Amino acid sequence: MRRLKRITFKENLAYLLSKDEWDVVELMDNWCWVYDRLPRQMRRVVDLKITGCSNKAIARKLRCSVNSICNHLLKAKKRILRGENIL
């Protein structure tokens, strides 16, 4: 299996800022705030998805079902789009 380099959220943010896309900075600040407050497992799923892993590969890596991965991604997406962390 091919090993992917894990790209962190901070590296993604640094990349966007290096491209002088300042219009996304406000959105990224909000995203950072929500991302930092996601549960640990949900954050791991989001990190792996950002690197381009499939849901099936993430499920194998984290030893859970594909359905759990889909649920984590859906909940993370809702939290990020709302801009708040709902427990």
More confident residue, 85 or 27: 27
d(CA 53, CA 62): 12
The confidence score (pLDDT) of residue 77 equals: 84
Q: Which residues, 6+ apart, have CB-to-CB distance to 4 below 8 Å?
A: 51, 52, 53
| 2 is a domain residue | no
| 3 is a domain residue | no
CATH number for the domain that contains residue 32: 1.10.10
Q: Mean pLDDT, to the nearest integer, of 21-37?
A: 68
The confidence score (pLDDT) of residue 87 equals: 44
| 1 is a domain residue | no
The single-letter code of the amino acid at 71 is: N
| 87 is a domain residue | no
- The total number of structural domains that make up the chain: 1
pLDDT at 6 over 70: no
pLDDT-derived band at 37, boundaries 50, 70, 90? confident
| 72 is a domain residue | yes
pLDDT digits (tens, 9 = 90+) for 39-87: 999 999 988 988 888 999 999 999 999 999 999 999 988 887 776 544 4
The confidence score (pLDDT) of residue 20 equals: 60
pTM of this structure:
0.64
| Domain boundaries, position 40 | 9-82
